[in-house]
Amino acid sequence: MSNQNVLVTYSAPLSFLASESWRQVLAALQSQLPLRSIHWKSASRPNLKTIQELELTLVPLDSLRDEHTSQVPVTLLEKPLLNLYVVTCEDNDSYKAIVKKQIKDWHSAISQRKNQEWIIVHIVRSDIKTTDRKFFNMKSSVLDKIKADFNIDKRDRCVQLSWTAGDHSPVIWADLVNKIKDGLLSALDSSVSQREEEVRRSESQRQMPGWNFCTFFILKESLASSFEGVKLFEDALHQYNELEVSFIQVLREKNMSWFGSLIQPVDKDDSVPLLSITKKHYRDLILANSISVFDFRIYLLARQCALLNKMRRPSEICQKVATFLATFGRRLREVEAKLPEYFIESWIFSSALSVVDQCDMWAPATELDGIQLARFSASKGELLELAKTQLDIIGAKVGHLPKKPPFATTCMDGTALHSEQNSKRSSTRRISNHEVMLAIGDKEAFYDLYCATSNRAIDMYVKAGRRKFALKLHGFLAALDIHRGRLASALAIFTSLPAHYAPHMWVSLESFVLSRALDIHAELENPQDREWIHILLAYLRTCTNDMSREVTSEVDEEKSVTELIRALHTAAASLDSDLIHTDHPIMAVQVSGDATCSDDEDLTLVDATVSNHLPCDVFIDEINITLRGRDSERLKFIAKVDKLPPGQSTVTLSCPSSSWGLYTLESSEVVMSRVHFQWQHTGTAATTPKKNQISFVRVPRSLRALDVQIRQPQQIELGTTSHLLLVISTGQNDISRATIKPTPPSGVQFNYSAARLEAEGTGTLEASDNAIVLLDAPVDADVVISLPHSDASRYHTMKIWLNVTYNTQSSTGVIRTLQTSRVVTVSLPIAVNVEDFFRGKRLFSKFTISATSHQHVRISSTELQGARSLDGVKISGCRPSRPVVTVTPEHPVNFLFSIESSNGPEVEALVRQTVEAVLSSMLVEKPQYGSLRRMLIDKLVAQLESNAEWIEAYRATGEIILPRSFEDGGDFQGPIREALAQCRPETASPCPWREIKIPVDVPRMNIVTAAQITVQPSSLPSDIQSDQLPPIYAGQPINATLILKTSFHWAEKEGKQRCYTMRYDVEERVKDWLLCGRKRGDFVATDGGSFTVPLTLIALHHGEMTLPKVDVRPLPISTQASMGSTVPSADACQVHEAEKVLILPRGGRSTYIVGMGGEYE
């Protein structure tokens, strides 16, 4: 019925139907099937319906029987929806004589059929259709006559097919296929509308006498079957859903006269596939009004599931079946006494498994994505779990399973209510499911079936990602193993389950499972090893949660928590290695407040609040916490404790360290023999619990504790090994042995073995390759150690990590630590740039000194020194030494020196500069300052750095006026202000001057050229000096001489004997001078040689003018070593650069005599 295709009849003259041409046309037409993308827009439906594919069955019209009225409604597709008549006439005469009457007879018979459409197909050869008619041939074609004769209404039902044998092209068949689609939709729309009207009419007569639900069901089902036949599965399912709602309404009205009893069980009713509609003649039973409610509901469910399968929704099939089995199973409990024993359980068990198998057969035909596959697996898992539940009921009834959780369920409670009825069971039939019957009689067979069904359900839940449901079934299997005496297997399952329950906060189930695991472990008499400790700790975790108290109350009567803790302490001591357990809730450690320092030794104390959440004492050995500071600095505080009472208690922990600053609580630990309970308080989001807030702990600075400072030495000499000074202040400690390990940044290395003491009597150093070892340092001593290091020019400042471990003479067994970092500036506070000027045998060097940072630098003196072994070198400053000079970032300072050498450039020069830092320590040395000196210096410098108001006064007078906000001096605030406010000259600074030695190489130059242009008017003799020249006028030719003198004084020794070819070029200044003569040329330069060129200059305007410049440069020389050419170094100076020539304007008077004519001549 539901698989019936749409019928389409065809008819034609008998001669054509018997021909080979018709068989070819029919085959070509069938090749265009099925029809695709049919859009149905019905007036009774608001939405457009799309039929993706529609199968057609083409049958001869004569093969159908005559219509007769049937009392049983059938599907609309049992009658044809479309009728085709095929015409092959090609001339009008044949049409009028024969074909027209044939078509008319066929049309008369077809027109009498209701809700059917018709189409006349005119087939012509393609060559005839393509021939053009003559323009004046007004004779109409056969197709035109057919349309005129039979298209009575406005709808065109005639189509022409231009076809050639064997042509299956869709383009040729497009018009006919579209006509077929339109005809089918028109017939379907009218048929459906009529049937829907009949259904509405029947439903409206529901309250009238004689109305029959079964008849109404058959009528409405015919509509659903019709929709199914045309692939409108959603509409078909909607009809069945409406029938289900109508049936439920009938049940509420308790009008069951159209049905038999609730159930009339027959053989194999409990074992046949649930979704099979061929196991009984359901439609005949419905028409006979004798179908039972049981059979009717199964038939309706099967039809709905069949449609859901065609819609590719297998998960909904399983969900619908699971709901039906659960609800109808409860209904069958009401008549359980009339059913065979275990019928309900067998029926639900068999039906659930059969549906799962049926869906597995349907599912491969569908393409399920990840989400759909997960839902499908979950739905099958629910059906399998429902089948497992029936085994729970059967097992409890026959004694295969205990009547207690987890096997005891609410379903079993419902079956107990009908126990009296079960004792009076009237049915003598037996169930037919062989597996269930075998499981009832054989305990091992029952266990095998139970495990197989449960494992199938677990597998489905795992595929669906439903871990909780799978874990629940694992718990059932573990309980079954306990019942069967397989304790080892049960222990393995109970031990593995808590790891899955814990992330989902199922504390009650987790506690129950762990309690069962402990019981089984005790029954097996297994040793209390590492595995047992893990189980016990997991169980104690659940005991601290209030949600699990009700579950664990019965267990606590047999297992006291106190006994468990004692057993845990004993088992922990027997472990061969440490067992670390993180974030356990039975205890918690938090810091109570800031730390304090001991007055007698380098020792830091902190109070911690320890919470014991168990109702008994916990026996432990040690509590420790770790504080984390900057740069991964860590302090570990430890306290020895025997036991922790219930609730909160305060414990004082200590750490032998002189470190100070702001720290965070990183971790805490409680040690119970070999078991270590650890909690992370800071870290990544994955390792830090959300409830743990960051705890800050401020560790104060002890003024008498050990301290280490790092600074640069007072004297720095570039080109030699660099050093840093480590100043170790011992404070109250009489150091017996101290190991100082400074760690430099990457790229820098310390030479620990070359470290040395700067002063005697402050201890001794022990040789070591990886650290500095200081021995026997006295109390209140500042030990200065010089530590060489590799090149650090890549850094402006270096951050050095210091790790110091030391012990004192008074407590040699206590190892104390200091972990800190220091930042030291390694770059020079000044930058020096040199500019050289060669003047014959003299070299003038200008040194520009600028500040490299934002700070101001004072320079006391500068000096350029030559090596002592050199003779013939005279170095002098170009002006007397100045007093103290301040270099600011905006204003550099220049110093000029003259070097006069008789032997050339064989000299090494050093610049010695002494630099004073503006913000150096200026605290007056007084004994009463004592241990507060370092603290006051730090606070004073920090205050001055934050306020710049004092700088101008300090630069002018040397006075440091502290800001009024400075109040950290305590009792010494007044003396400090007075000492700093004293007026002092720049040269009388109380601070030591730093000394910087910078090596400077004297430059070399192969050729030094002095270019000079001398001028002399042409009317004067050449021996007159330039300062005695008469006035020169604009436009007057001036004789000039270009003199080029070369010197190799500053060249290498081997280069002084060579000759070089040079080129000169006189500057052309076309706005000032007109230059005549050899303006550009080459000459040969020798040491001490001279070259002259005569020139003529003409001034183009008056005024003071400088003479043209001369560019002199060497030409490349070829060298055999480099297989090419090189250009020697050269420097040229303009001797006449500072001279100016005064050009006067040309002046004069001329007398002209002009003749006037007439008598005056």
DSSP 559-623: S-HHHHHHHHHHHHHT-SS-EEEES-TTEEEEE-S--EE-SSSS-EEEEEEEEE-SSS-EE-SEE
Continuous segment of H or E residues that includes residue 715: strand 715-717
Do the beta carbons of residue 671 and residue 619 sit within 8 Å?
Answer: no
- DSSP-based three-state secondary structure for 655: strand
Residue with tokens 């393995």: 492
Strand partners, 35: 54
DSSP code at position 682: S
Distance CA 143, CA 145 (A): 5
Peptide bond between residue 364 and the one before it cis (omega within 30 degrees of 0): no
Please, what is the end-to-end C-alpha distance for the chain in angstroms?
A: 154
Q: Are 122 and 161 in contact (CB under 8 A)?
A: yes
The SS3 assignment for 987 reads helix
Tokens of 472: 């629940």
Tell me how long the chain is.
Answer: 1161
- Give per-residue burial for 808-828: e unless 16+ CB within 10 Å, then b: beeeeeeebbbbbbbebbbbb
Contact 786, 711 (CB under 8 A): no
Residue 558's pLDDT is: 38
49 with 38: CB under 8 angstroms? no
Sequence-ordered list of residues with C-beta below 8 angstroms from that of 1042, at least 6 positions apart, any chain:
1011, 1012, 1013, 1064, 1066, 1092, 1093, 1094, 1095, 1110
pLDDT at 388: 93
Give the count of beta carbons closer than 10 Å to the beta carbon of residue 340: 19
CA-CA distance, 616 to 334, in Å (whole number)? Answer: 54
Q: What pLDDT shows up at residue 79? A: 87
The answer to whether the CB of 211 falls within 8 A of the CB of 205 is yes
Tokens for 195? 């049937």
d(CA 538, CA 541): 5
How far apart are the C-alpha atoms of 327 and 248, rounded to whole Å? 13
Whether the CB-CB separation of 52 and 36 falls below 8 Å is answered with: yes
Separation CA 313–CA 292 (nearest Å): 29
Task: Tell me the three state secondary structure of residue 822.
Answer: strand
Q: Which helix (H) or strand (E) holds 345?
A: helix 343-362
Contact 779, 791 (CB under 8 A): no
Hey, what long-range contacts does 243-246 have (CB within 8 A, 24 or more apart)? 243/217, 243/300, 244/300, 244/304, 246/203, 246/213, 246/216
Give the pairing type, strands 1140-1144 and 1032-1033.
parallel
Q: Report which of 533, 498, 532 is spatially closest to residue 512, judged by C-alpha positions.
A: 498
Contacts for 493 with CB less than 8 Å, ≥ 6 apart = 474, 475, 477, 478, 481
| Residue 21 C-alpha from the chain's centroid | 71
pLDDT given for residue 219 in this prediction: 87
Classify residue 657 by its DSSP letter. Answer: B
The reported pLDDT for the residue numbered 155 is: 80
Low-confidence ranges of the chain (pLDDT < 50): 1, 68, 129-139, 365, 410-411, 417-420, 546-555, 557-558, 684-690, 906-930, 1160-1161
Give the pLDDT confidence score for residue 246 in this predicted structure.
Answer: 87
**Three-state SS sequence of 752-798:** HHHCEECCCCCCEEECCCCCEEEEEECCCCEEEEEEEECCCCCCCEE
Burial class of residue 1009 (count of CB atoms within 10 Å of its CB; 0-12, 13-18, 19+): buried
Q: Which amino acid is at 748?
A: V
Q: Show the CA angle centred on residue 624, arms to residues 620 and 629, nearest 5°.
A: 165
What is the reported pTM?
0.56
